[in-house]
A = this chain, B = another copy of it.
Amino acid sequence: MSHTPTLKLGRSTATNVIRCLSGIATSEPSQPVVLTPIPGPKSQELKTAMAKVHQNPSVKFFVDYEKSFGNYLVDADGNVILDTFMQISSIPLGYNHPELVALHKDPRFITAAVSRPALGSFPRTDFADLVKNALISIAPKGLTHVQTMMDGTGANENAIKTAFIKYQTNRRGGKPPTTEDLISCMNQELPGTPHLSVLGFHGAFHGRSLAMLSVTRSKAVHKVDIPAFDWPIALFPRYKYPLEKFEEYNRAEDEKALKSVRDLIASRKKENRDVAAIIVEPIQSEGGDFHGSPEFFRELQKIAADNGITFIVDEVQTGGGASGTLWAHEQWDLPTSPDIVTFSKKALIGGYYYKDEWKVNEPYRIYNTWMGEPTKLVTLEKAVEVIKRDNLVQKTKDVGIELRRGLSVLEAIYPRLIFNVRGMGTLTAFDTSDTKTRDKLLDIALARGLQIGGCGDTSIRFRPALIFDEPHLKLTLEILERAIKDL
């Protein structure tokens, strides 16, 4: 990895590209400016200081968030970096979007932050309105109810709890738990504590709680040393690209994966350990940006429905507009919506949409102290307004097409370094030859002022904000090509 500053376009520096108002940046730099190796001396100093109070082994560098703006972050050493990874796909409108910054004067925002409600018991008077404006206004078609939570893991945990409750409620003919259920569950015995399971997929990532790790198969470092539920894991397709060239191969991948799903459901049923939920990502992001075809997901939904299984689509990383549609699953042309769709990251708040029939009727079953936070709804309400007004979902679609077009040009020039270019909207990725080359490419790009994300063993993923536009795309491709040449 090169630690020499390699890119210093124009004459601007980190200190003069940023105009600040009351300490917060208000305009976007025109290009990256790299002054030091990354991490620079200041970041390294801060990392040492951090180690004294908080673990830090995964810290890459420290960020001066007051100076960061739009698609650019400014690190502790004043390096201005074009960020196409955006805090692991979680900042919808880029850093310090002025219309979100302005919300700090909104009494709703202030009181929600300082006087934080236990949402399940004492919600704000404006809670239903906030939920409507922030979340229902962008709900996937057919899903009219939402449940807020703190983060993606909490969203997935409660989505599968909802699925378990639904499965048992169906078994009881729609009735609430019996006295026998309530007594036996306190000893974790049947029938109150059922032997149900969740079906996940090889390569999947659904969070890092113990239950979510049980359906996560992206990387060993997440799972090692942690006890797990014995839940079934099916195959997920592994396509070759371009898709049109490998149609037959890819169709066989779908069929193999769907067969494994059917087989696991059947075998679990025989063992009285029924599958109550299928949880699946539209793009296995952490696992390596693996996609499934619309046909695959339509059939998966059908299998779930045929077996009385809740079909949960985990859109924690793919939701919120970056896929070229508000929700990635909207591109599958499903005959009916998924039963549950979970979200977090770009949605700013965790949670899940669910079909009416999945509503849990008894109090305190889906519950915790905070269940999300209204400040996030106040922020999301405004972000949604901006996303709609500025046509940002259409933009991710258009920019994504251009991004893949540019990557395909690079693929044609460097076919051993870049291949399997794929994506939905700006959720775009390509594979490299091996892990070492991938990591080196990421390092060189960063040293040139471009932050991209790795995923899986050999892949590189783009996860820019929704405001990632033509000029950022142009710079991204330029820097990436130079980084490839430097390899």
Residues of chain A touching chain B, judged by Cβ–Cβ distance below 8 Å, are: 22-24, 42, 46, 49-50, 52-55, 57-66, 68, 73, 76, 87-88, 90-91, 95-97, 100-101, 103-105, 107-118, 120-125, 127-128, 131-132, 135-136, 144-148, 150-154, 157-158, 160-161, 164-165, 167-169, 177, 181-183, 185-186, 188, 192-197, 207-211, 214, 217, 219-230, 344-345, 348, 359-370, 375, 379
In this complex, what residue of B is CB-closest to A195? B227
Pairwise interchain contact B125-A188, C-beta atoms closer than 8 A: no
In the assembly, what is the distance between CA of A185 and CA of B154, in Å?
A: 23
This chain: copies in complex: 2
Pairwise interchain contact B368-A63, C-beta atoms closer than 8 A: no
In the assembly, what is the distance between CA of A191 and CA of B60, in Å?
A: 31
- What chain B residues lie within 8 Å of A154 (beta carbons)? 150-151, 153-154, 209
Pairwise interchain contact B59-A128, C-beta atoms closer than 8 A: no
Pairwise interchain contact A224-B125, C-beta atoms closer than 8 A: no
In the assembly, what is the distance between CA of A157 and CA of B22, in Å?
A: 39
9 A-B pairs, CB-CB below 8 angstroms?
A23-B107, A46-B123, A57-B362, A59-B121, A65-B117, A90-B369, A103-B114, A151-B370, A375-B375
In the assembly, what is the distance between CA of A154 and CA of B208, in Å?
A: 9
Knowing that A57-B362, A224-B365 are A-B contacts, what are 19 other residue pairs whose CB atoms are under 8 Å apart, sorted by A's residue number? A23-B107, A53-B135, A55-B360, A59-B121, A60-B122, A62-B124, A66-B107, A90-B369, A96-B115, A104-B104, A104-B113, A109-B113, A153-B209, A157-B210, A161-B226, A177-B224, A181-B224, A185-B225, A229-B229
Q: Which of A114, A183, A220, A362 has the most CB of B within 10 A?
A: A114
Please tell me which one of the listed residues B64, B96, B127, B151 contacts residue A368 in the complex, with CB atoms under 8 A apart: B151
- What chain B residues lie within 8 Å of A194 (beta carbons)? 225, 227
Pairwise interchain contact B227-A147, C-beta atoms closer than 8 A: no
Pairwise interchain contact A63-B185, C-beta atoms closer than 8 A: no
In this complex, what residue of B is CB-closest to A100? B114
Pairwise interchain contact B122-A63, C-beta atoms closer than 8 A: yes
In this complex, what residue of B is CB-closest to A148? B54
Pairwise interchain contact A375-B118, C-beta atoms closer than 8 A: no
Please tell me which one of the listed residues B107, B116, B117, B210 contacts residue A211 in the complex, with CB atoms under 8 A apart: B210
In this complex, what residue of B is CB-closest to A378? B113
In the assembly, what is the distance between CA of A121 and CA of B111, in Å?
A: 30
Please tell me which one of the listed residues B55, B152, B223, B365 contacts residue A145 in the complex, with CB atoms under 8 A apart: B55
In this complex, what residue of B is CB-closest to A361? B57
- What chain B residues lie within 8 Å of A91 (beta carbons)? 115-116
CB A315 to nearest CB in B, in angstroms, measures 14
CB A254 to nearest CB in B, in angstroms, measures 23
In the assembly, what is the distance between CA of A196 and CA of B217, in Å?
A: 20
In this complex, what residue of B is CB-closest to A221? B364
Pairwise interchain contact A226-B164, C-beta atoms closer than 8 A: yes
CB A285 to nearest CB in B, in angstroms, measures 11
CB A72 to nearest CB in B, in angstroms, measures 11
- What chain B residues lie within 8 Å of A122 (beta carbons)? 59-63, 73, 87
- What chain B residues lie within 8 Å of A196 (beta carbons)? 227
Pairwise interchain contact A152-B369, C-beta atoms closer than 8 A: yes
In the assembly, what is the distance between CA of A108 and CA of B153, in Å?
A: 26
Please tell me which one of the listed residues B61, B112, B214, B223 contacts residue A65 in the complex, with CB atoms under 8 A apart: B112
Pairwise interchain contact A168-B87, C-beta atoms closer than 8 A: no
**What 4 pairs between A and B have smallest CB-CB spacing?**
A210-B211, A58-B363, A23-B107, A57-B363
In the assembly, what is the distance between CA of A199 and CA of B409, in Å?
A: 58
In this complex, what residue of B is CB-closest to A54? B131
CB A151 to nearest CB in B, in angstroms, measures 5
Pairwise interchain contact A49-B87, C-beta atoms closer than 8 A: no
- What chain B residues lie within 8 Å of A144 (beta carbons)? 52-53
In the assembly, what is the distance between CA of A344 and CA of B362, in Å?
A: 26
- What chain B residues lie within 8 Å of A108 (beta carbons)? 66
- What chain B residues lie within 8 Å of A128 (beta carbons)? 46, 49-50, 52-54
- What chain B residues lie within 8 Å of A146 (beta carbons)? 53-54
In the assembly, what is the distance between CA of A188 and CA of B223, in Å?
A: 8
Pairwise interchain contact A188-B230, C-beta atoms closer than 8 A: yes
- What chain B residues lie within 8 Å of A362 (beta carbons)? 57, 221
In the assembly, what is the distance between CA of A88 and CA of B23, in Å?
A: 36
